[in-house]
């Protein structure tokens, strides 16, 4: 008999060697190859496994009828050692197979993410070998159905399970619940849960996860109360899922209750994912103080908890604090990951701060995260929102992978600037690339059509393409249509579209029509629309201002006075105009009519110079928009120092002559500033970008990307 020579590393002290050389089994390890193979498989020792295999081949035991168990053990060995093709070869060569042979191979395929192969094997097993699956095989097949989303096949397995009474095996039941939950068949999952007594925590976790993933919050709460009634011990996964549910519900009271329950249990507190779920819950419930307090009390902080707290600040509108935390995290020696960068870039986008954004970009590039899709998407968003659409496009063009968010961010970025043609080009490329447009895509696309005045095309997208893609138009899409009709000057059509389309219009839609009547000087319509808005939102400051501007343009000063009185009575104050400009690492803030800036008088002089420069180009101050009931000369004085004019003048003073200037303004730009900035862009040959409360204005060569419509 040939002797079995073991490789030298097996003799080294270790788990495998010690189990091989237990003295009392000394003679059996050669006589019991199945046991040996199991040890090799469990310790994933391919070298030893192959040696045993060779030994068996020489002994010629494989092909014999008694060898079925040995072959099964070999299949199990190769599966565990990730040698699927070897396992398959052995399996195919078997003259006779039993349920274990099938099960071992299926488990291997499932483990390697080849769920469809498992389903194919299952079919052959029943049809060709005419074999009855056992509970292990059914569990493997049901799990494969979950992994590849095959609910129909899953249901058939459910039939097998019922026929053979296997539903009482807890793991079969859990696999079924998991399969239904993952395949959006939450009702199926609930049925299994309800019908079979004795649920364990794993069943509940699966159902809760499924419900949460599909936004079925009401049902999730019902399951939660079932769980409370059953007095089960919750594990970490349960708590993480429940905090996720509470975050979506934004139910702080429930959050506090569950948090106190965690503190009373014996589960491991120092779990980074559980801690992050608690921080996230407080953040989403709007309790940033609680989130921070909890975060500060943690024994250790890792990148997950840091990123969650930064995200909580972002969600609560504390963008600067979010960026400060990012810096602090790095100072504490924590290396940011792709999520940390994405969250921080989005915070910087919300501040429209190119300064922060550029720094983050450089840092992401240095850390090797530049090509990560969520970082790329956040970079595009940051550049688009910070007024550098060219840089957004550069990131977009160079990004190695794109998903629907990538495409949507670029399309809506262009649309927001009024670059309709570019937006539609990106949309065409998206279709050509085979990416399926979604709800968000069409908001960008329709607003691009609106900018370009493409009425027919807009309606085609709304009525045909969206339907083809199975997307039900929402109020945002219908609002784009109102904008589309308005911009094309079809105000009557826009008004009747709003009156007859069965959709719950919001204030944004009505304000779109109000803006349109202001731009097209259709004051009768404007008044009607303003009445609707004031009825809906009695404190909507912008509406009063626009209405008062319209009266002023009609020279109906009595009405202007009346509106101002109404605003006083309702305690609605005109928010002061504020503009920001970033120059070399400092943000300068300008408020109309204030002299707080240290270089105030020099800036005012510069405004005077610029206005004198554009007078020959046809600039006449448009005093109609001034609310003050004062002399015209005085009105001109007020206009002169609107915050954006101050910010632009300062930018021109402090930056090289070719540098674009980016200003952010809190209110809608007035007509006079718009005209003045257009002419300043021509006179100084500069690109001037202003983001007001409505959109981006990209001024170049005396024109604005909004085409004078905003």
The distance of closest approach from Cβ of residue 555 to Zn ion in the complex, given in angstroms and rounded to an integer, is: 20
Nearer Cβ to Zn ion (274/704): 704
Q: Does 695 bind Zn ion (CB under 5 A)?
A: no
678 in contact with Zn ion (CB under 5 A): no
| Residue 647 beta carbon to Zn ion: minimum distance, rounded to whole angstroms | 11
Count of CB atoms situated within 10 Å of the CB of 700: 16
Q: Would you say 582 or 622 has its CB closer to Zn ion?
A: 622
Residue span 4-33 as binding mask against Zn ion, x where in contact by CB under 5 A, dash where not = ------------------------------
The least distance separating Zn ion from the CB of residue 391, rounded to whole angstroms, comes to 20
Count of CB atoms within 10 A of residue 629's CB? 12
Region from 362-370, 374-382, 529-537, 664-672 binding Zn ion, contact rule CB under 5 A? 664-672
CB-based contact 98:125 (threshold 8 Å): no
| Interface region with Zn ion, contact rule CB under 5 A, candidates 183-191, 349-357, 360-368, 639-647 | 639-647
**Residue 704 binds Zn ion (CB under 5 A):** yes
Q: Verify binding: residue 670, Zn ion, rule CB under 5 A.
A: yes
Judged by CB under 5 A, does residue 697 bind Zn ion?
A: yes
Q: Which of 193, 141, 140, 131 is nearest to 167 (CA)?
A: 193
Q: What is the DSSP string of 673-708?
A: HHHHHHHHHHHHT--EEEE-SS-EEEEETTEETTTT
Q: 352 near 387, Cβ under 8 Å?
A: yes
Q: Please state the closest distance from residue 324 (CB atom) to Zn ion, in A.
A: 33
Nearer to Zn ion, 364 or 550 (CB): 550
Output the CA angle 97-101-107, nearest 5 degrees: 155
Q: Which is nearer to Zn ion, 379 or 706 (CB)?
A: 706
Contacts to Zn ion from residues 421-440, by CB under 5 A: none
Cβ proximity to Zn ion: between 276 and 549 the closer is 549
DSSP string of 176-235, one letter each residue: HHHHHHHTT-HHHHHHHHHHSS---HHHHHHHHHHHHHTT-HHHHHHHHHHHHHTTPPP-
Q: Computed from CA positions of residues 362, 364, 369, 373, in that sequence, does the dihedral angle turn out positive or negative? A: negative
Please say which residue, 208 or 670, places its beta carbon nearer to Zn ion.
Answer: 670
Token pair, residue 345, equals: 């870039």
Stretch that binds Zn ion, among 14-22, 80-88, 102-110, 634-642 (CB under 5 A): 634-642
Q: How far is the CB of 710 from Zn ion (least distance, A)?
A: 5
H or E element: which one contains 579? strand 578-583
Minimum CB separation of residue 286 from Zn ion in Å reads 35
Per-residue contact track with Zn ion, 584 to 623, x per CB under 5 A?
----------------------------------------
* Run of H or E including 483: helix 475-487
Q: Helices 303-315 and 319-331 sit at what angle, rounded to 10 degrees?
A: 170
In terms of Cβ atoms closer than 10 Å to its own Cβ (0-12, 13-18, 19+), residue 268 is exposed
- d(CA 54, CA 52) in angstroms, rounded, equals 5
Per the DSSP assignment, residues forming a β-bridge with 665 are 579
The token duo for 155 is: 């249901």
Phi, psi of 554 (to 5 degrees): -85, 0
Contact assessment for residue 301 and residue 331, using Cβ atoms and an 8 Å cutoff: no
Judged by beta carbon, residue 84 or residue 706, the one nearer Zn ion is 706
Which element (helix H / strand E) includes 586? strand 586-591
Which listed range, 521-529, 535-543, 650-658, 670-678, lies at the site for Zn ion (CB under 5 A)?
670-678
Identify which of residues 379 and 516 has a Cβ nearer to Zn ion in the complex: 516
Query: Which of 510, 554, 547 minimizes the C-alpha distance to 529?
Result: 510
Closer residue to Zn ion, CB minimum distance, 32 or 701: 701
CA distances from residue 689 to 179, 618, 664, 704 in whole angstroms, order as listed:
52, 21, 8, 9
Nearest to Zn ion of 192, 603 (CB atom): 603
Q: Which stretch binds Zn ion (CB under 5 A): 213-221, 225-233, 241-249, 663-671?
A: 663-671
Least Å distance, CB 445 to Zn ion, is: 21
Verify binding: residue 706, Zn ion, rule CB under 5 A. yes
The least distance separating Zn ion from the CB of residue 698, rounded to whole angstroms, comes to 8
| Pairing of β 703-704 and β 586-591 | unpaired
Smallest distance, Å, CB 697 to Zn ion? 3
Which of 484, 706 has the CB closer to Zn ion? 706
Binding-site residue total for Zn ion (CB under 5 A)? 6
CB of 211 to Zn ion, least distance (A): 47
Residue closer to Zn ion (CB basis): 284 or 642:
642
CB of 691 to Zn ion, least distance (A): 10
- For the bound state, the minimum distance from the C-beta of residue 353 to Zn ion, rounded and expressed in Å, comes to 22
Stretch of residues binding Zn ion (CB under 5 A), selected from 58-66, 88-96, 239-247, 699-707: 699-707
Residue 487 binds Zn ion, judged by CB under 5 A: no
Does 642 engage in binding with Zn ion (CB under 5 A)? yes
- Sheet with 578-583, side-by-side order of all strands: 586-591, 578-583, 661-665, 688-691, 696-700, 703-704
For Zn ion, the closer of residues 287 and 697 by Cβ is 697
Residue matched to tokens 């994912």: 273
For Zn ion, the closer CB: 521 or 562: 521
User: What's the CA gap between 273 and 284, in Å, rounded?
Assistant: 16
What dihedral angle (degrees, nearest 10) is formed by the CA atoms of 171, 177, 182, 187?
170
- The tally of CA atoms less than 13 A away on the side-chain side of residue 584 is 6
673 binds Zn ion (CB under 5 A): yes
Min dist. Cβ of residue 272 to Zn ion (A): 48
Q: Which stretch binds Zn ion (CB under 5 A): 65-73, 291-299, 387-395, 698-706?
A: 698-706
Nearest approach in angstroms of CB 676 to Zn ion is 8
Give residues in contact with Zn ion (CB under 5 A).
642, 670, 673, 697, 704, 706
């Amino acid at each position: 008999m040939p002797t079995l020579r073991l490789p030298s590393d097996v003799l080294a002290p270790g788990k495998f060697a010690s189990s091989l050389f237990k003295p009392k089994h000394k003679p059996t390890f050669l006589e019991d190859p199945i046991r040996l193979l199991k040890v090799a498989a469990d310790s994933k020792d391919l070298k030893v496994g192959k040696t045993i295999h060779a030994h068996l081949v020489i002994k010629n035991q494989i092909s014999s009828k008694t060898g079925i168990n040995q072959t099964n053990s070999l299949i199990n060995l190769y599966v565990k050692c990730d040698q699927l093709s070897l396992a398959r070869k052995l399996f195919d060569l078997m003259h006779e197979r039993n349920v274990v042979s099938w099960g071992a191979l299926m488990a291997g395929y499932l483990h390697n993410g080849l769920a469809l192969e498992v389903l194919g094997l299952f079919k052959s097993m029943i049809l060709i070998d005419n074999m009855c699956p056992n509970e292990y095989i059914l569990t493997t097949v049901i799990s494969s159905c979950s992994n590849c989303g095959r609910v129909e096949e899953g249901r058939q397995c459910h039939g097998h399970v019922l026929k053979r009474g296997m539903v009482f095996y807890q793991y079969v039941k859990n696999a079924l619940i998991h399969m239904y939950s993952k395949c959006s068949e939450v009702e199926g999952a609930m049925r299994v849960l309800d019908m079979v007594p004795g649920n364990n925590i794993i069943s509940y976790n699966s159902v809760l996860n499924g419900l949460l993933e599909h936004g079925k919050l009401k049902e999730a709460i019902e399951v939660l109360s079932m769980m409370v009634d059953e007095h089960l011990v919750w594990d970490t996964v349960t708590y993480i899922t429940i905090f996720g549910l509470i975050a979506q519900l934004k139910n702080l009271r429930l959050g506090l209750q569950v948090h106190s329950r965690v503190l009373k249990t014996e589960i491991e507190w120092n779990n980074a994912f559980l801690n992050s779920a608690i921080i996230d819950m407080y953040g989403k419930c709007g309790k940033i103080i609680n989130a921070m307090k909890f975060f500060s009390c943690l024994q250790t902080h890792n990148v997950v908890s840091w990123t969650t707290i930064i995200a909580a600040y972002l969600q609560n509108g504390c963008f600067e604090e979010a960026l400060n935390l990012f810096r602090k995290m790095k100072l504490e020696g924590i290396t940011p990951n792709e999520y940390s960068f994405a969250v921080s870039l989005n915070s910087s986008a919300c501040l429209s701060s190119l300064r922060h954004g550029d720094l983050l970009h450089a840092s992401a590039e240095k850390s090797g995260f530049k090509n990560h899709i969520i970082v790329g998407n956040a970079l595009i968003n940051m550049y688009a929102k910070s007024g550098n659409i060219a840089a957004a496009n550069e990131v977009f063009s160079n990004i190695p992978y794109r998903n629907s968010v990538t495409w949507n961010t670029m399309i809506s970025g262009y649309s927001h600037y009024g670059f309709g043609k570019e937006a539609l080009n990106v949309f065409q490329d998206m279709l050509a690339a085979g990416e399926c447009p979604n709800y968000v895509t069409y908001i960008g696309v329709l607003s691009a059509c609106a900018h370009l005045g493409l009425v027919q095309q807009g309606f085609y997208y709304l009525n045909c393409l969206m339907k083809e893609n199975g997307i039900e138009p929402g109020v945002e899409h219908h609002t784009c249509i109102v904008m589309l009709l308005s911009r094309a000057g079809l105000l009557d059509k826009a008004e009747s579209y709003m009156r007859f389309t069965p959709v719950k219009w919001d204030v944004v839609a009505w304000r779109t029509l109000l803006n349109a009547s202001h731009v097209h000087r259709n004051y009768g319509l404007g008044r009607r629309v303003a009445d609707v808005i004031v009825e809906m939102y009695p404190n909507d400051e912008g509406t009063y201002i626009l209405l008062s501007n319209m009266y002023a343009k009609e020279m109906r000063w009595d009405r202007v006075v009346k509106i101002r009185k109404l605003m006083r009575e309702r305690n609605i104050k005109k928010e002061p105009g504020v503009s920001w400009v970033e120059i070399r690492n400092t943000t300068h803030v300008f408020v109309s009519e204030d002299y707080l800036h240290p270089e105030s008088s020099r800036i005012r002089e510069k405004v005077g110079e610029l206005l004198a420069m554009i007078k020959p180009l046809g600039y006449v101050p448009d005093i109609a928009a001034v609310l003050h009931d004062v002399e015209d000369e005085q009105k001109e004085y007020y206009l002169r120092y609107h915050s954006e004019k101050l910010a632009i003048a300062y930018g021109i003073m402090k930056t090289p002559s070719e540098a674009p200037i980016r200003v952010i303004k809190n209110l809608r730009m007035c007509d006079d500033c718009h005209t003045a900035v257009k002419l300043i862009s021509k006179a100084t040959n500069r690109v001037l970008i202003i983001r007001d409360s409505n959109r981006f204005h990209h001024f170049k060569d005396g024109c604005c990307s909004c085409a004078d419509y905003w």
